[in-house]
């Protein structure tokens, strides 16, 4: 069996208005993934049991 070490520190800004706080963050990389939604698709396609 292989031995694997995986380290990927991640900070997630979650919630309404968090894009307004993005300028306060130390962004070490050159690329970012920004996901936005108005919430209707989540309510339509996700069912919580």
Domain count, the chain: 1
More confident residue, 13 or 2: 2
- Work out the pLDDT band at 4, boundaries 50, 70, 90: very high
Is the pLDDT assigned to residue 5 strictly greater than 70?
A: yes
Q: Which tens digits make up the pLDDT trace of 8-22?
A: 888 888 888 888 888
Q: Quick check: 17 and 31 in contact, CB under 8 A? A: no
Query: By residue range, what is the domain housing residue 30?
Result: 1-49
In order, the DSSP letters of the chain are: --------------STTGGGGGGGS---SS--------SHHHHHH----
The first and second tokens of residue 2, run together, are: 């292989």
Is the pLDDT assigned to residue 44 strictly greater than 80?
A: no
Q: Is the pTM of this model over 0.95?
A: no
For the four alpha carbons of 20, 26, 31 and 32, in that order, the dihedral sign comes to negative
Write down the pLDDT at residue 49.
60
């Amino acid at each position: 069996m292989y031995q694997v070490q995986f380290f990927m520190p991640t900070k997630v800004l979650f919630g309404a208005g968090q894009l307004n706080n993005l300028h306060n963050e130390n962004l070490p990389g050159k690329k970012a993934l920004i996901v936005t939604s108005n919430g209707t698709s989540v309510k339509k396609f996700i069912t919580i049991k």
